[in-house]
Chains A and B, each alone.
Chain A
């Protein structure tokens, strides 16, 4: 008994030093060639909403990502890709568990996700703690490429700030003075409305009322009556998915679309336009994409996406597609050797992608630098009217990467 007690600390120390030695050996070992490391497919964890109000958005991101991988013959940078799927259901409370499951149990190399900002921020935290490579294909939470930015975190979508900031100037220049804003009371809503208000008031506009409903509630009727009472020059709104469909239909059903023009972040009519039908006609939004962008990459993308899924590609599909393109740039730079992380991340940070949305590059916080387009809904399509602001770069307030 006593000898056992004496031996234990010794053996533990021996074990520890042995383990440390083995780790060092493994790291510097000349026998560990990239060729062996490349044999196994690179495991990509897709953490997206496959059910719930954002289900369609998640599916399109997934389809877009897989389309790019298929176009490259199932390989990125010469490395085969395998997928693990997790449905995050847009539930922030389950986000950390889901992410830990991917990183811990499934041992994925890269995580791609997600749509909901609250879920994405929990993913960002785990990615920072475990140094997992994370590509965010939608969620626009400013903080992800702001105070919480990290070298291993990339975004192929947008920051909330980025999509609506240009609209402030556009609306002010159209002679609109008084605006009512309406959105869901959660991070994305506050940031989109905030960036719009920042630029709109700077250009002489006034926010008359700031209306909100809890996420993901879709009973807007009381607030729509309230808007009619306030009689603003225009309404600026952010909703997405099922909520956006309902809001736009309610707005039209109340007759407000004839008297008070509706503006919004592009998500109001993207991926939702078909279900909105005629109610969406005339709505103007800003986004980093438009359906009729006439560049070669977009034409080819829309054709390929239609052939694969039978559906019309949209910005969510593009963001997924570009997520795979970005990973491709990184893996190509290191010949598929995922262990050369620093070199790979440097290549991804410097990537210049010919995206269906137009030229796409990244700032130091790994947030996209891209054009923001002013679009109008005409006959069920988000048609580009003009470039609201070219090469918009998020200020990345609070990001410490230099």
Chain B
């Protein structure tokens, strides 16, 4: 295997990892800050992809699909937090698992009513279609490169907000010591609503950007949900930086596993997770006391 192929496979790994990060960061935000295990996260990923399909069908614009899809998901997230999710704070995990599992069923039923059961394809925007010729017989789809760049930008924005802004400070305070923060006068009702909605919007955004290179199909969120949980556990529950490291590790393991150890590639990421958890039970960047 020559240098170019290795680089292209690295690129594949990063592209896969960045999308994973997008989805997993939403999951870990909601868990880390609100303490809610959201099993419906994958369903919102699927919903994002279907919204992208629908908006592109209606308007022909992928940019509109991104904006519209994220906005719709954000609003749904706000509504869900206001009506249901707030009941879960401080409740045991069983209640959270049950409610979010119910959400999966409801979202899936709505998806079926609105979009049916067909497999759909979404075209990437014209200016991002086509591919770049790397060697005489190896080219790389422009859209995949664009995903890499876009997801890295989103990741940078998330880190900036969390580490450099007042909102981020409040969010971190909430995650660190909620009671103390409350005593200091932070109103968590609104913060919670925004955090949950942002988490949902990130899941949907993952579905939207993946739609043109994946297909849009019922059940597409299932695999993503499991992978996201692996990423979150691997990186450390509640840690956004951990999710980034975890997603990248999964991307690398999956890509090179498929190439070099095809027969065991499907279990490699779980072996990786097991190995990491033995070494650091709370995940790579997890807090020790978790």
| Chain A interface (Cβ < 8 Å from any Cβ of B) | 50-53, 55-56, 59, 185, 211-214, 217-219, 221-223, 225-226, 228-229, 231, 241-242, 245-246, 249-250, 253-256, 259-260, 272, 275-277
Give the Cβ gap from A271 to chain B, nearest Cβ, in Å.
9
Question: B131 near A51 (CB under 8 angstroms)?
Answer: no
Give the Cβ gap from B114 to chain A, nearest Cβ, in Å.
15
Q: Contacts of A253 on B, CB cut-off 8 Å?
A: 131, 141, 143-144, 213
Interface residues on B, range: 35 or more
- Asked if B218 is an interface residue, CB under 8 A from chain A, the answer is yes
Inter-chain CA distance A256–B12, complex, in Å, is: 16
Q: Contacts of B138 on A, CB cut-off 8 Å?
A: 225, 228-229, 254-255
The interface stretch among B22-30, B61-69, B117-125 is: B117-125
Q: Contacts of B140 on A, CB cut-off 8 Å?
A: 254
Question: A276 near B121 (CB under 8 angstroms)?
Answer: yes
Query: Given A222-B254, A231-B137, A253-B131, A275–B12 Cβ distance below 8 Å?
Result: no
Question: B119 near A218 (CB under 8 angstroms)?
Answer: no
The residue that B15 contacts in the complex, of A52, A221, A223, A246, with Cβ under 8 A, is A221
Question: B5 near A229 (CB under 8 angstroms)?
Answer: yes
The interface stretch among B92-100, B169-177, B258-266 is: B258-266
Question: B120 near A275 (CB under 8 angstroms)?
Answer: yes
Inter-chain CA distance A211–B137, complex, in Å, is: 19
Inter-chain CA distance A70–B20, complex, in Å, is: 48
- Asked if B214 is an interface residue, CB under 8 A from chain A, the answer is yes
Question: A275 near B119 (CB under 8 angstroms)?
Answer: yes
Question: A212 near B218 (CB under 8 angstroms)?
Answer: no
Number of A-B contacts (CB under 8 A): 108
| Chain B interface (Cβ < 8 Å from any Cβ of A) | 1-2, 5, 8-9, 12-13, 15-16, 112, 117-121, 131, 133, 137-141, 143-144, 213-215, 217-220, 223, 254-256, 258-259, 262-263, 265-266
Give the Cβ gap from B216 to chain A, nearest Cβ, in Å.
9
Q: Contacts of A256 on B, CB cut-off 8 Å?
A: 137
Question: A214 near B266 (CB under 8 angstroms)?
Answer: yes
The residue that A56 contacts in the complex, of B118, B223, B265, with Cβ under 8 A, is B118
Question: B137 near A277 (CB under 8 angstroms)?
Answer: no
Inter-chain CA distance A255–B129, complex, in Å, is: 12
Residue of A nearest to B124 (CB): A253
Give the Cβ gap from A52 to chain B, nearest Cβ, in Å.
5
Give the Cβ gap from B196 to chain A, nearest Cβ, in Å.
28
Q: Contacts of A245 on B, CB cut-off 8 Å?
A: 119, 121, 215
Q: Contacts of B117 on A, CB cut-off 8 Å?
A: 50-51, 55-56, 59
Inter-chain CA distance A241–B120, complex, in Å, is: 11
Question: B262 near A254 (CB under 8 angstroms)?
Answer: no
Question: B139 near A221 (CB under 8 angstroms)?
Answer: no
